Amino acid sequence: MEIILVTGGMGFIGSNFIRYIVENDKDFRIINVDKLTYAGNPENLKDMMKGDHLQFYKVDICDYNAISTIIKKEKVEYIVNFAAESHVDRSIENPDIFIQTNVIGTQTLLNAAKKSEIKKFLQISTDEVYGSLGFEDPPFTETSNLAPNSPYSASKAAADLLVRSYYKTFNLPINITRCSNNYGPYQFPEKLIPLMINNALNDKELPVYGKGINIRDWIHVYDHSSAILKVLLEGKIGEIYNIGGNSESTNIDLVKRLLKILKKPENLIKFVKDRPGHDLRYAIDFNKIRNELNWEPKVNLEQGLEETINWYKNNQEWMNNVIDKEYLTYYEKHYKNR
Ligand code: NAD
Ligand code: TYD
């Protein structure tokens, strides 16, 4: 049995990753460490908690003593670090917590990992560390320059460089994955797709930043999870792997697609003030993971969006529970001046 410490496992991608490995391979024991911020929701794994294959600790990744104790006590072999502040808009409004969790938190984990005999430390990073592309530029490769434009992406780039340095200096066995925009079940409704689905289901305005011409590459969280497990078990030590969904779309086209599937009118769309420093385009060249690890995304965007919409339609109680007072205050303040 392999013993994996997952950080941030109560969040969107972390919980989907845990679900993916529990459903696909029973021979893992998963230790889930999460601080339970506004984005961490124990409901996301409620149906998974039976049996001893999954253990949860409410712990901050910045707490060195707690993390070291868990690694020792649970005889952890692999660490997958999802824990992060993950929303660009929040990083513009309050960068400090992004530096604390994403940079100091990652370094704390690295220090704890260095003191133990782990097989691998996998850092879950993002394509946003590469900055922004023009419409005609070729997609980012693993050797593209790091040129982050938001406090969020800058904190993730800083963490990537720390992870790299612990490999070069201390021989810590590491990988870094850099993935494009995820969508799927259990995503907090501050991010584009669940926000738009939820607003449309409730006949509320859909706030599209600027002219809606910014492009993102979309990947289903199921495909991201399968790529992470591949890299964890088969990735060459020290390497970075880009993960992409092969599905570029402008925001406006994506929002119109959602409205069409939902059978809601386009006049719900409201163009609002643009995000400061808004990256124009992300696109990912994932030939490395395709050729070296034989991985490809399987979910096509149309089918993935339909399934995702159905999931949110069938889980409105989940949505109502995560939209708490803190979130409503944030949302109101955030959109007031747009
Ligand atoms: P999320 O915001 O949904 O979840 C983050 C989780 O981390 C939450 O459960 C939260 O409680 C936990 N957390 C936050 N601070 C913590 C701390 N100090 N200690 C312990 N736990 C803490 O984020 P997500 O969308 O699931 O993203 C997960 C990871 O994947 C992040 O590192 C993010 O940078 C990366 N990523 C996300 C995307 C995307 O599209 N969402 C794309 C590429 C990479
Ligand atoms: P988001 O889901 O926040 O992810 P990221 O900024 O990390 O790519 O946003 C995706 C795109 O959608 C981005 O170009 C900003 C845009 N967007 C809107 O137009 N309206 C919104 O309300 C949100 C949250 C995002």
Mean pLDDT of 146-173: 98
**Ligand showing the shortest atom-to-Cα distance for residue 271:** 2
> How many other β-carbons are positioned within 10 Å of the β-carbon of residue 115?
11
Ligand nearest to the CA of 273: 2
Per-residue pLDDT tens digits for 233-286: 999 999 999 999 999 999 999 999 999 999 999 999 999 999 999 999 999 999
Q: What is the model's pLDDT at position 137?
A: 98
Res 276: pLDDT: 97
Residue 333 has a CB neighbour count (10 Å cut-off) of 10
Alpha-carbon 90 to chain mean position: 15
- The answer to whether residue 338 scores a pLDDT higher than 80 is no
Average pLDDT over residues 175-185: 98
- Residue 326 binned pLDDT confidence (cut-offs 50, 70, 90): confident
- pLDDT confidence tier of residue 24, bands split at 50, 70 and 90: confident
Cα(28)–Cα(2) distance, integer angstroms: 5
Q: Enter the tokens of residue 189.
A: 């409704």
Q: What is the pLDDT of residue 20?
A: 95
pLDDT of residue 288: 98
- Cα(136) to ligand 1 centroid in Å equals 30
The pLDDT assigned to 253 comes to 98
Domain boundaries, the chain: 2-182+219-243
Cβ of residue 216 lying under 6 Å from some atom of ligand 2:
yes
The secondary structure of residue 181, as a DSSP letter, is E
Please determine, for residue 72, whether its predicted confidence score (pLDDT) is greater than 90: yes
pLDDT band (50, 70, 90) for residue 336: confident
Task: Kindly report the average pLDDT of the chain as a whole number.
Answer: 96
Q: What is the mean pLDDT of residues 102-108?
A: 98
Distance (angstroms) between ligand 1 centre and the Cα of 190 equals 13
Closest residue by CA, ligand 1 atom 42: 181
* Strand (E) or helix (H) holding 253: helix 251-262
Q: Which of 77, 128, 160, 217 is catalytic?
A: 128
Confidence grade of residue 51 (pLDDT, cut at 50, 70, 90) = confident
User: Side-chain half-sphere of 189: how many Cα atoms within 13 Å?
Assistant: 25
Distance between CA atoms of residues 275 and 254, nearest Å: 18
CA distance 71 to 68: 5
- Residue 324 has what pLDDT? 81
* pTM score: 0.98
Find out whether 178 and 242 touch, Cβ atoms under 8 Å.
yes
pLDDT digits (tens, 9 = 90+) for 118-133: 999 999 999 999 999 9
Q: What is the mean pLDDT of residues 311-335?
A: 88
CATH number of 2-182+219-243: 3.40.50.720
- Give the other-Cβ count within 10 Å of 100's Cβ: 15
